[in-house]
Amino acid sequence: MAFNTHIPYIKYISGSNQDLFVYNFKLFIDQDITVDTIIGGVRKRLLLNHEYSVTIDGDKGGYIH
């Protein structure tokens, strides 16, 4: 059995008013996705359920908000 070793990656560049992002790959749990932000050239990993949340919509993907 072959396994997909490709890690899905989506890079968004957003304005300060955007707060909803769509992803189109299957997740099993919300901890399977991480969100980073870059402010003033410094990368910061955001905290799940404190600074962002994940909605899983079955096999279709879901939303980060």
Residue ranges per structural domain of the chain: 21-64
One digit per residue, the tens of pLDDT, for the chain of length 65 reads 566 677 777 788 777 788 899 988 888 899 988 898 888 999 999 999 999 999 999 888 999 99
In the prediction, which pLDDT does 62 show? 93
End-to-end CA distance of the chain: 35
Structure tokens at 47: 């905290």
What pLDDT does 2 receive? 63
Beta strands in the chain (DSSP E): 21-23, 36-39, 42-45, 54-56, 62-64
Residue with tokens 């399977």: 32
Q: What are phi and psi of 6, to 5 degrees?
A: -75, 125
Can you give the pTM of this predicted structure?
A: 0.75
